[in-house]
């Protein structure tokens, strides 16, 4: 049997990659999930892209996931006379709510919530951290600061407040409109930006319900302080290294990446490593060796997925970027040290029946080397618990729900397959599992497969069956 890739690939769609031909080529190259970035593009753009994805999905004959990424709050300075000003290190600089155009000594900051959270001695970062201000005095509508790191500052550049929890909901009015639209389209995942606390998930959960799975983008230092609690409230997480790297020293980002991946794996939540993975491929047909190593590091750590942003959305070589990412994953997953690392970083199972079954699955796979694991799952729970164990066999997730199949495309080692066959008992399930495993070329004559399921079928969290079957096509 041909080896099956475990780690998944997420690609952002944009002007360079949204044609039907491009989307089909990206799927052929290895994309499992497409990201629709709602920071850019119109609703009409995203609707057309999703319709094209669904058409290409039918042609490909396998589920393809769609992740909508909400913009979240964007904190920015106002406008400047002439469009820009140059801030000199050591000079005073004032920020206030006055909408008048700024200059080298003051600027409009139209965010009273920032002033409410500022304290003397705090730092403000401007333009992705290129400029740094130290707060000397502040009030509800102003802040006096000293320029620590100066430089040019132009209209509407971003503002970051490291080390401060801002009293801001991660869902803006724009996000709420976008979310309603995205859910009406039938997206599979919703990525929330600017998550700081577990409480930030509640509003989104109330709106989304069971219509999509929720992913928290971890891009604020405050989120790291509540890491396990946030992971417990969501269905997946993203290591958003761009914004995280602005507010934290760059040498800390790799350490935090590993910590987030470990925590997500322990909880059985899919984790995506994102931002600047193959950045040079925006303009180059090949990545740097350092970028190839960066992708490999994420795969060695057991991340569920790696993501392309501008490389596939606006770059010159979107298909090549996906192909390179896929080849890097293949090289790592063929390295014996990769499996050794997964074993070493595997966390203990929890004391409940589903975890006990999936822990046993892992042991069975190591002992008898079955061709595949088949997980029957209505909600995705059984398949995700199997994925958490990082078994040596590929996981064929059989589900009666197409939406569940699409959501599972983001999870490590899972190959989802929707079905509409009526299964009345365990014998029917085993016969059906062996048939599909053979049809999907995941198992052959006399191969063994391991089947897990929850009985009664369709109830979330009820994984309680493990069965070993031998393929016998003569029966």
Structure confidence by residue, pLDDT tens digits, 247-303:
888 899 999 999 999 999 999 999 999 999 999 999 999 999 999 999 999 999 999
High-pLDDT (> 70) share of the chain, %: 98
Shared domain for 227 and 255, answered yes or no, is: yes
Overall average pLDDT of the 450-465 stretch: 80
Shared domain for 287 and 236, answered yes or no, is: yes
Domain count across the chain: 3
- Asked if pLDDT for residue 239 goes beyond 80, the answer is yes
Residue numbers annotated as active site: 35, 76, 217, 275
- Asked if pLDDT for residue 458 goes beyond 70, the answer is no
Average predicted confidence (pLDDT) for the chain: 93
pLDDT value of position 20? 97
Confirm whether 475 is domain-assigned.
Answer: no
- Asked if pLDDT for residue 10 goes beyond 80, the answer is yes
Confirm whether 342 is domain-assigned.
Answer: no
Using 50, 70 and 90 to split pLDDT, how confident is the model at 472?
Answer: confident
Q: Over the stretch 188-217, which tens digit does the pLDDT of each residue have?
A: 999 999 999 999 999 999 999 999 999 999
Shared domain for 17 and 131, answered yes or no, is: no
Confirm whether 384 is domain-assigned.
Answer: yes
Shared domain for 247 and 391, answered yes or no, is: no
Shared domain for 403 and 465, answered yes or no, is: yes
Cα 291 to chain centroid distance, Å, stands at: 19
Domain boundary among 138, 160, 182: 160
Structural domain harbouring 118: 81-160
pLDDT value of position 461? 66
| Beta strands 448-454; 372-376: pairing state | parallel
Shared domain for 247 and 387, answered yes or no, is: no
pLDDT value of position 76? 93
- Asked if pLDDT for residue 2 goes beyond 60, the answer is no
Confirm whether 346 is domain-assigned.
Answer: no
pLDDT value of position 464? 86
Confirm whether 260 is domain-assigned.
Answer: yes
Confirm whether 3 is domain-assigned.
Answer: no
- Asked if pLDDT for residue 1 goes beyond 60, the answer is no
Using 50, 70 and 90 to split pLDDT, how confident is the model at 475?
Answer: low
Shared domain for 250 and 209, answered yes or no, is: yes
Overall average pLDDT of the 20-49 stretch: 97
High-pLDDT (> 90) share of the chain, %: 83
Confirm whether 165 is domain-assigned.
Answer: no
Q: Over the stretch 137-195, which tens digit does the pLDDT of each residue have?
A: 999 999 999 999 999 999 999 999 887 888 888 999 999 999 999 999 999 999 999 99
pLDDT value of position 317? 98
Q: Over the stretch 370-427, which tens digit does the pLDDT of each residue have?
A: 999 999 999 999 999 999 999 999 999 999 999 999 999 999 999 999 999 888 888 9
More confident residue, 457 or 323: 323
Confirm whether 22 is domain-assigned.
Answer: yes
Cα 194 to chain centroid distance, Å, stands at: 14
CATH number at residue 201: 3.20.20.60
pTM across the whole model: 0.93
Distance from first CA to last CA of the chain, Å, rounded? 22
Shared domain for 47 and 135, answered yes or no, is: no
Domain boundary among 270, 302, 337: 337
pLDDT value of position 354? 84
Shared domain for 223 and 333, answered yes or no, is: yes
Shared domain for 195 and 149, answered yes or no, is: no
CATH number at residue 452: 3.40.1380.20
């Amino acid at each position: 049997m041909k080896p099956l890739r475990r780690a998944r690939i997420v690609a952002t769609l944009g002007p360079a990659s949204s044609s039907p031909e491009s989307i089909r080529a990206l799927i052929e190259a290895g994309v499992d999930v497409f990201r629709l970035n709602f920071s850019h593009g119109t609703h009409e753009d995203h609707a057309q892209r999703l319709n094209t994805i669904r058409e290409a999905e039918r042609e490909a004959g396998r589920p393809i996931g769609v992740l909508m990424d909400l913009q979240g709050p964007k904190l920015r300075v106002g406008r400047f006379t002439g469009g820009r000003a140059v801030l000199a290190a050591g000079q005073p600089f004032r920020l206030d709510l006055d909408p008048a155009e700024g200059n080298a000594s003051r600027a409009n900051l139209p965010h009273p919530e920032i002033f409410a959270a500022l304290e003397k001695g705090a730092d403000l970062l401007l333009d992705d951290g290129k400029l740094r201000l130290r707060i000397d005095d502040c009030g509800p509508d102003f802040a006096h600061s000293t320029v620590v790191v100066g430089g040019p500052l132009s209209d509407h550049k971003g503002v970051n407040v490291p080390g401060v929890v801002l009293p801001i909901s991660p869902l803006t009015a724009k996000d709420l409109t976008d979310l309603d639209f995205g859910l009406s389209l039938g997206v599979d995942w919703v990525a929330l930006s600017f998550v700081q606390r577990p409480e930030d998930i509640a509003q989104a959960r109330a709106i989304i319900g069971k219509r999509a799975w929720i992913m928290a983008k971890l891009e604020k230092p405050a989120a790291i302080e509540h890491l396990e609690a946030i992971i417990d409230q969501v269905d997946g997480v993203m290591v958003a290294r761009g914004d995280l790297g602005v507010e934290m020293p760059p040498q800390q980002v790799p350490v935090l990446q590993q910590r987030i991946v470990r925590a997500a794996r322990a909880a059985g939540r899919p984790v995506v490593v994102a931002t600047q993975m193959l950045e040079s491929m925006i303009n180059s047909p090949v990545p740097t060796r350092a970028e190839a190593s960066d992708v490999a590091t994420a795969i060695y750590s057991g991340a569920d997925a790696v993501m392309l942003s501008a490389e596939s959305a606006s770059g010159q070589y979107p298909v090549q970027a996906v192909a390179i990412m896929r080849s890097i994953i293949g090289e790592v997953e063929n390295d014996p040290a990769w499996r050794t690392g997964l074993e070493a970083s595997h966390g203990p199972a929890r004391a409940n029946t589903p975890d006990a079954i999936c822990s046993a699955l892992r042991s069975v796979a190591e002992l008898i080397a079955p061709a595949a694991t088949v997980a029957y799952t209505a909600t995705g729970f059984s398949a995700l618990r199997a994925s958490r164990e990082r078994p040596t066999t590929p996981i064929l997730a059989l589900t009666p729900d197409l939406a569940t199949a699409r959501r599972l495309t983001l999870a490590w080692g899972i190959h989802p397959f929707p079905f509409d066959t009526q299964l009345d008992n365990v014998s029917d399930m085993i016969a059906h599992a062996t048939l599909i495993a053979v049809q999907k070329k995941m198992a052959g004559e006399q191969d063994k497969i391991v089947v897990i399921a929850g009985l009664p079928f369709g109830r979330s969290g009820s994984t309680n069956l493990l069965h070993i079957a031998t393929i016998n096509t003569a029966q």
